[in-house]
A and B are shown apart, each in its own frame.
Chain A
Amino acid sequence: MNKAFASTTGLTLLDTNKNESCFITSSSNSGIMPFGVKLAALADTDTTDLVDTDLMDSVADEDWTLATGVLVSSNDLTFTAAPGAADSYYSVSVNTGDVIAITFTVESYSAGGVGIYLSGDVDGGVTGYETENGTYTYYFVSAGASVVVRFRTNGITTLDVTNISVKRADADRSVNGNHLP
């Protein structure tokens, strides 16, 4: 950098030999940017600031509609020899076009399987059934102002579903398409 200019907003650094600039304020630093770039911002934040409220926070146990053989406690589901092709579900309010990230953990797996079917999903259809313990995340795009999150069994199912999280996510326009939950 060979030039520096001060304002009440902050400091501008220029390298007129390399055609690079940098903006520095009391709380941020743009890093070195090629001329022509108006802003390459580094936010003073962490990942918790980048996600929406967990929509599960507003879901009470009594909001669930449970299938036979399924119990709920603090939004944790217990499947005990639950019949197959049965849904346990609840409804949440979203915005049309929202990308929704649903994460849940399968514990104490014994039999059957469980998958998510999101009524109101643009693409529709049930996800693959989870048949072993683990944490799983699926993304959906809302087709309306509300969606019904359904945990659907596959065969006689015995397992627990815990740590259910439903969040609006930023639409991912990157090549990898992994979204930002």
Chain B
Amino acid sequence: MVYQWRTGNGPVFHGYWLGSGLVDRNTDVDYDGISSRGFILSDTVNDIALTALDDAPIDPRTGLKAVTAAVATNGDATYSTSLIKNIGLPEEVVYDIASDSTGTAVSVSFDGQELTVVRSDGTVYVWHDVSQINADGVAPDLTYSASSDPALLGTVSKVVSL
């Protein structure tokens, strides 16, 4: 558990990290809130999409299923997209997905449980069921590009809703 506060407009947070027990309850530890576990990959966000998964827990405050978000960011040189499941509940968890080795994520879209991410070089990743994503770096089920089969026209920059 971490108690945190932000200083200024940058990504650096201060916090009391209790992962080692109450002994550290008053130890102020600076950490990068963006790259640290539990936070999104970059403070530059390019797109965001929301959905409610079939197996999402009920938020007792609203009586509705918890929301899952996909956040397309400029990435951390390894991954580009943060998947935040069960927002606002104790079960909230963040996974880092979608390789960004040659580009950042520019567009994300949900179709039910299916997540589509568009990378800045036009590569498109598809995960059929994000409820099955329970770790960082889960490989997509499908990858499309201008040279794939089927090919995409030009350098795709956005998922279009149908």
Contacts and interface: CB of A to CB of B under 8 A. Distances in A.
Interface of A: 1-12, 14, 16, 19, 21, 23-25, 35-36, 38
A19 B144 CA distance: 13
Given A3-B116, A35-B149, A9 B160 contact: no
26 contacts: A2-B162, A3-B116, A3-B162, A4-B159, A5-B118, A5-B152, A5-B156, A5-B159, A5-B160, A6-B158, A7-B156, A8-B155, A9-B154, A9-B155, A10-B153, A10-B154, A11-B160, A12-B150, A12-B152, A14-B144, A14-B150, A16-B142, A21-B151, A25-B153, A35-B149, A35-B150
A95 to B, nearest CB: 35
A9 B158 CA distance: 12
Max chain B C-beta neighbours (<10 A), residue from A3, A7, A8, A12: A3
Contacts, number: 60
A23 B152 CA distance: 8
Interface size grouping (class) on chain B: 20 to 34
A10 B159 CA distance: 12
Given A4-B160, A16-B142, 9 more contacts: A1-B162, A2-B162, A4-B162, A7-B155, A7-B156, A8-B155, A9-B154, A9-B155, A12-B151
A8 B160 contact: no
The 10 closest A-B pairs by CB, nearest first: A9-B154, A7-B154, A4-B160, A5-B156, A21-B150, A12-B153, A35-B150, A6-B158, A23-B153, A12-B152
Interface string B121-162: 010100000000000000000101000011111111111111
Contact of B153 (A1, A9, A16, A36): A9
Contacts of A14: 144, 150
Nearest to A19: B150
B158 A5 contact: yes
Nearest to B148: A35
B151 A8 contact: no
A36 B149 CA distance: 6
A5 B156 CA distance: 6
Contacts of B142: 16
Nearest to B159: A5
A6 B157 contact: yes
A11 B153 contact: yes
A10 to B, nearest CB: 5
Contact of B157 (A7, A16, A24, A25): A7
